């Protein structure tokens, strides 16, 4: 082992980048081995890591060295805690001192890794970090600024975990965030916070947005417009009315709660009347208003006098009129009819939701597709396609009537789990990572979900399997059980094996004879849901005659 450590020391002292990288990879592999032996070996590795940052080195070497340092910090132990304190103090001193580019670059790398891998120890240094990080955010070198944003993001995650204890530091960070050039990554979360039910949070978010507007006014205006129009498309007027009328009818007819019914309907009537005076009313809204506004406004004026029983007949007429105009039953909506403003926007400064990464090129919105595909499900979400500035298309599921903030937090948890799995050699080799997708809340009851291509639900998979049974009908195929059905691991297709029992040969077997033809066994009929043979099986068989 001593010879190995000597060799590592020699490689670190070399001026060759490949030698330095090789030595760092060796140290990374030795961390857990050293922890299992004694503290002196860990101390030796720590000393090696200190020497890496003492002299000017290639950026690739510094990036790998910071990751190895994070691995060492994550390994734990009293000695590693002391090393974390030393590295954080050194990095902060470098930020406060005179500008030396490689030191500034190394400092923000170290701080990011310490925040991510030793958050408990790093937490003590958060106030110092907040004071010192601003100089790196204004550094003339792009690479330094990009890595600084990553370090700041890691620090914010530490603060978020201890929100109560570090609320003051969080408020101090607000002034830094408002001046960041990287507002691209913050616009969507800020606009959601501006719609919060918490007055304190809403006011704080609005203050940040106002400050960002001072240097990125066009970006803020575009973000607010896109957010507003997407929310508008997610929940159309007739869908809002349909949902509200169901609730109002429950309150009135079920509980005879007249006050509650009026509270549910009043905001929608105000919206309808305001829409009549608004210039940018969409085609869809104009049609709905033209059909219903007279009946609705007249009825509500009667209801507002609380003479409910006297005007019960008018109330029922208005209710029937509205419910006849049900939720959209189409498979697609033209963007022009539901949001012409989105369709008119071209080449925005705003990034495509969910695509911003500090270390990648910024991909902005070029335009919006002319058609929205309506998904057949309870909430009728829309498939929205955004044309990107790099020429690609990015598809989203636009959902209304649902708070996606919890989904976003679940995806963040999955990301943390994936990071832990990737940092372990055993789990990394087995490819155990969890499939993730982008979740971008737009408001407390709507948002975007990244479309995962080439995927189907299990329901769709089973439906395809049922369709494939038509061939079995022709062959009189028997002996079908889970061991004779195979699922392709990559394509997901189901295929059959073992065709020894065709033409209903199993009916004459001595043991376990299948007297009932396979095509109508009780087990399969039960699997065909409530429609039995008269459902998908019958319709697909008839369609392919």
d(CA 373, CA 397): 9
Determine contact, residues 398/381, Cβ cutoff 8 Å.
yes
Q: Is the pLDDT of residue 128 over 50?
A: yes
- For the segment 262-273, the average pLDDT, to the nearest whole number, is 68
What's the pLDDT score for residue 2? Answer: 66
Cα gap 466→238, rounded to integer Å: 37
Domain 2-177 has CATH 3.30.750.24: no
- Rounded mean pLDDT of 31-45? 60
Residue 95: how many other CB atoms lie within 10 Å: 22
Provide mean pLDDT across the span 24-47: 66
pLDDT in the model for residue 166: 45
Which pLDDT band holds residue 260 (cuts at 50, 70, 90)? confident
Other Cβ atoms within 10 Å of 210 Cβ, number: 11
Residue 504, pLDDT score: 65
Domain ranges in the chain are 2-177, 237-326, 335-450, 458-543
Q: Check pLDDT > 80 for residue 482.
A: no
pLDDT in tens, 417-451: 888 888 877 777 777 788 888 888 988 888 899 98
Q: What is the chain's mean pLDDT, rounded?
A: 74
pTM of the model: 0.50
pLDDT band at 283 (very low <50, low <70, confident <90, very high): low
pLDDT at 8: 75
Residue 95 clears pLDDT 70, i.e. is over it: yes
Which one of 3.30.1010.10, 2.60.40.1180, 3.30.390.50, 3.10.105.10 gives the CATH number of domain 335-450? 3.30.1010.10
Q: Which of 199-213, 227-241, 263-277 has the lowest mean pLDDT?
A: 263-277
Nearest to 319 by CA among 247, 401, 379: 247
Could you tell me what percent of the chain has a pLDDT over 90? 1
Fold match, 2-177 / 237-326: no
Task: Give the tokens for residue 411.
Answer: 């995806």
Comparison of pLDDT for 320 and 175, the residue scoring more: 320
Q: Where are the beta strands (DSSP E) in 12-158?
A: none
Question: For residue 544, what pLDDT is reported?
Answer: 47
- pLDDT in the model for residue 322: 57
Residue 545's pLDDT is what?
47
pLDDT tens column, 297-344:
555 554 554 455 544 555 566 566 555 555 444 554 555 667 778 888
* Among 451, 439, 446, residue whose Cα is nearest residue 373: 451
pLDDT at site 312: 57
Q: Which of 278, 276, 281, 290 is nearest to 321 (CA)?
A: 290
User: Quick one: which of 320, 339, 82, 310 has its CA closest to 231?
Assistant: 339
At 257 the pLDDT is 75
Confidence of residue 294 (pLDDT cuts 50, 70, 90): very low
3-state secondary structure 130-191: HHHHHHHHCCCCHHHHHHHHHHHHHHHHHHHHCCCCCHHHHHHHHHHHCCCCCHHHCHHHHH
* pLDDT-based confidence at residue 176 (cuts at 50, 70, 90): low
pLDDT tens, position by position, 484-500: 777 776 766 666 666 66
- What is each CA distance from 487 to 87, 352, 432, 465, 483, in whole angstroms? 52, 36, 20, 11, 11
The CATH class, in words, for 237-326 is mainly alpha
- Higher local confidence (pLDDT), 355 or 108: 108
Query: Could you read off the pLDDT of 345-375 as tens digits, one per residue?
Result: 888 888 888 887 766 677 888 888 888 888 8
Distance from C-alpha of 506 to C-alpha of 523, rounded to nearest angstrom: 17
pLDDT at 36 over 70: no
Amino acid 178: pLDDT: 44
| 274 — pLDDT class (breaks 50, 70, 90) | low
Q: Are 253 and 308 in contact (CB under 8 A)?
A: no
Separation between Cα atoms, residue 97 and residue 107, nearest integer Å:
11
Residue range 219-246: mean pLDDT, rounded: 80
């Amino acid at each position: 082992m001593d010879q190995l450590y000597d060799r590592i020391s020699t490689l670190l002292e070399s001026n060759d980048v490949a030698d330095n990288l090789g030595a760092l990879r060796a140290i990374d592999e030795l961390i857990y081995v050293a922890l299992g032996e004694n503290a002196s070996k860990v101390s030796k590795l720590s000393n090696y890591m200190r020497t890496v940052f003492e002299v000017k080195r290639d950026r690739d070497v510094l990036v790998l060295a910071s990751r190895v340092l994070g691995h060492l910090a994550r390994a734990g132990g009293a000695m590693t805690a002391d090393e974390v304190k030393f590295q954080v103090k050194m990095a902060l001193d470098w930020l406060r001192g005179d500008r030396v580019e490689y030191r500034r670059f190394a400092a923000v790398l170290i701080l990011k890794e310490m925040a991510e891998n030793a958050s408990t120890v790093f937490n003590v240094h958060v106030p110092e970090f907040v004071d010192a990080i601003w100089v790196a955010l204004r550094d003339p070198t792009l690479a330094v600024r990009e890595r600084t944003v990553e370090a700041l993001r890691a620090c914010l995650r530490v603060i978020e975990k201890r929100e109560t204890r570090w609320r003051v530091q969080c408020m101090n960070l607000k002034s830094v965030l408002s001046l960041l050039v990287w507002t691209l990554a913050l616009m969507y979360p800020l606009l959601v916070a501006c719609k919060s039910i918490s007055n304190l949070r809403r006011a704080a978010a609005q203050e940040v947005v106002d400050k960002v507007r001072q240097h990125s006014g066009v970006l803020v205006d575009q973000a607010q417009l896109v957010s507003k129009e997407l929310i508008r498309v997610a929940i159309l007027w007739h869908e809002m009315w349909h949902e509200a009328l169901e609730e109002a009818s429950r309150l009135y007819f079920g509980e005879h709660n007249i006050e509650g019914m009026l509270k549910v309907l009043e905001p929608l009537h105000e919206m309808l009347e305001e829409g009549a005076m608004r210039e940018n009313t969409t085609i869809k809204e104009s049609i709905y208003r033209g059909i219903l506004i007279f009946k609705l406004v007249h009825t509500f004026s009667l209801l507002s006098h609380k003479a409910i029983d006297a005007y019960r007949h008018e109330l029922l007429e208005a209710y029937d009129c509205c419910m006849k105009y049900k939720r959209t039953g189409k498979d697609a909506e033209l963007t022009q009819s539901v949001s012409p403003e989105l369709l008119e926007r071209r080449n925005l400064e705003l990034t495509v939701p969910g695509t911003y990464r500090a270390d990648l090129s910024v991909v902005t919105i070029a335009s919006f597709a002319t058609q929205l595909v309506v998904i057949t499900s309870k909430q009728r979400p829309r498939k929205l396609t955004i044309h990107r500035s790099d020429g690609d298309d990015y598809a989203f599921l636009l959902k209304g009537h649902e708070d996606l903030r919890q989904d976003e937090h679940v995806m963040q948890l999955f990301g943390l789990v994936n990071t832990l799995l990737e940092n372990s050699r055993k789990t990394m080799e087995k490819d155990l990572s969890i499939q993730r997708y982008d979740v971008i809340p737009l408001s407390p009851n709507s948002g975007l979900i990244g479309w995962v291509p080439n995927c189907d639900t299990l329901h769709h998979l089973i439906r395809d399997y049922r369709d494939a049974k038509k061939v079995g009908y022709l062959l009189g195929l028997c002996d079908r059980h889970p061991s004779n059905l195979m699922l392709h691991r990559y394509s997901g297709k189901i295929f059959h094996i073992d065709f020894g029992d065709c033409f209903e040969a199993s009916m004459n077997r001595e043991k376990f004879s299948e007297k009932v033809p396979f095509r109508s066994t009780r087990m399969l009929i039960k699997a065909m849901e409530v429609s039995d043979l008269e459902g998908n099986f019958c319709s697909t068989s008839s369609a392919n005659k």
